[in-house]
C-alpha cells in the first residue's frame, strides 16, 4: 500500500473490528456465553439487527462531530495564518522576522482582549457564562470551553494572518479553514465505522463482562473517536 494511504488505516481497522464484533456476537450466542445479567445478546438476530441499526444512528447523532470539526477548523486556520510557523521559529530557531514580530504583537493584543472579555463574562454583575447555581463545573464556561477556545484561536489566527500578509481577503481565511478539514478527511471517515462499532459493543454487553464503569466507557469512546485524528496528524507529518 502506498505510504500516503497509511492515513486510512484507522478506517480499515474499525471496519475489521466491526466485522469481528458481529462474528463474536454470533459465536457468543452459539456458545451461550453469559454474564451476571444473563445471556449475551447476539447481533445475528432480527432484534439484534434492528437494535444495531437504530443504536448506530443514535450514536452517530451523538458522536463528537461538532467537537472534531471545531478542532480541525481551528488547527487549519492556525497553520495557514503562519502562527504555527511562528511557534516553530521561536522554539527551534530562536529568531523571528520583523513582520512576524509585528503580526505576533497584534495577535497577542487580540488574545489578551479576548481573555479579558471571558473574565468579565464570569464576574459580577454580568455572569454571562456562569450557571444559575454559580458552580463553575456546570456553567456554560465549563461545558462550552472547546467552543470558546476555538473562537479565541480563530480570532487570533485571523488577525495574525491579515497582519502577516497570508490573508488578504475573506476567501483566504475560508481556504485556510478548508485546509484543516481536508487534512483530516481520513479521520472523519473513520468516525462512521467507529460509531457502529461502539453501538454494537454496547448492545452485546462486551464491556459489561469486565465490569467497566461509566467513566471507563466514556474514556474508551473518547479514545476510539479521537485516535484517528492523532494517527492522521502524526503519519502525515512523518510521510
Shared-domain flag, residues 192 and 158: no
Beta bridge partners of 38: 35
Q: Does 170 reside within a domain?
A: no
With H, G, I as helix, E, B as strand and everything else as coil, classify residue 96.
coil
Which residue numbers in the chain have pLDDT < 50?
Answer: 1, 36, 38, 239
Residue 201 lies in a domain: yes
Indicate the residue among 165, 196, 223 that finishes a domain.
165
pLDDT in tens, 203-214: 776 666 556 566
Question: Does residue 74 sit within a domain?
Answer: no
Closest by CA position to 142, among listed 90, 225, 133: 133
In a domain, 191, yes or no: yes
* CA 61 remoteness from chain centre: 15
Domain that holds residue 147: 83-165
Look at residue 77 and tell me if it is in a domain. no
Report the candidate in 114, 200, 118, 194 with the shortest Cα–Cα distance to residue 158. Answer: 114
State the total domains in the chain.
2
Residue 17 lies in a domain: yes
**Which whole-number Å values give the CA distances from 99 to 72, 105, 162, in the listed order?**
27, 10, 11
Do 113 and 156 belong together in one domain?
yes
Looking at the structure, tell me whether residues 98 and 157 fall in a common domain: yes
- Whether residues 11 and 54 share a domain: the answer is yes
Instruction: Provide, rounded to the nearest whole percent, the portion of the chain with pLDDT above 90.
Output: 18
Q: Which of 110, 130, 165 is the last residue of a domain?
A: 165
37 in a structural domain = no
Q: Can you give the pLDDT at residue 58?
A: 65
Q: Pick from 108, 133, 165: which residue ends a domain? A: 165
Residues 215, 154, single domain; the answer is: no
> Does residue 109 belong to any structural domain of this protein?
yes
Mark out the alpha helices in 83-169 (DSSP H runs).
Answer: 83-88, 98-121, 140-143, 145-164
Q: How far is CA 48 from the centre of its chain?
A: 29
What pLDDT is recorded for position 119? Answer: 87
26 and 94 part of one domain: no
Render pLDDT for 170-192 as a digit per residue (tens, 0 to 9): 889 988 888 888 888 888 888 88
87 and 60 share a domain?
Answer: no
Model pLDDT, residue 102: 95
Strands 38-39 and 34-35: antiparallel
Answer yes or no: do 158 and 109 share one domain: yes
Amino acid at each position: 500500500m502506498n505510504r500516503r494511504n497509511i492515513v486510512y488505516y484507522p478506517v480499515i481497522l474499525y471496519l475489521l473490528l466491526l466485522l469481528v464484533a458481529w462474528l463474536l456476537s454470533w459465536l457468543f450466542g452459539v456458545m451461550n456465553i453469559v454474564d451476571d445479567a444473563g445471556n449475551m445478546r447476539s447481533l445475528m438476530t432480527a432484534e439484534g439487527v434492528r437494535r444495531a441499526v437504530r443504536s448506530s444512528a443514535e450514536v452517530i447523532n451523538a458522536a463528537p462531530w461538532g467537537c472534531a470539526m471545531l478542532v480541525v477548523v481551528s488547527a487549519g486556520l492556525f497553520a495557514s495564518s503562519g502562527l504555527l510557523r511562528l511557534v516553530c521559529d521561536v522554539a527551534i530557531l530562536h529568531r523571528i522576522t520583523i513582520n512576524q514580530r509585528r503580526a505576533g504583537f497584534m495577535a497577542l493584543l487580540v488574545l489578551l482582549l479576548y481573555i479579558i472579555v471571558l473574565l468579565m463574562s464570569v464576574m459580577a454583575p454580568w455572569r454571562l457564562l456562569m450557571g444559575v447555581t454559580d458552580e463553575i463545573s456546570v456553567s456554560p464556561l465549563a461545558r462550552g470551553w472547546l467552543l470558546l477556545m476555538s473562537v479565541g484561536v480563530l480570532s487570533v489566527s485571523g488577525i495574525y494572518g491579515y497582519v502577516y500578509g497570508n490573508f488578504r481577503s475573506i476567501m483566504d481565511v475560508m481556504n485556510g479553514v478548508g485546509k484543516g478539514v481536508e487534512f483530516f478527511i481520513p479521520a472523519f471517515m473513520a468516525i462512521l465505522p467507529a460509531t457502529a462499532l461502539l453501538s454494537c459493543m454496547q448492545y452485546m454487553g462486551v464491556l459489561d463482562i469486565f465490569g467497566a464503569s461509566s467513566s471507563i466507557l466514556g474514556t474508551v469512546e473518547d479514545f476510539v473517536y479521537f485516535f484517528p485524528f492523532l494517527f492522521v496528524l502524526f503519519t502525515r507529518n512523518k510521510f
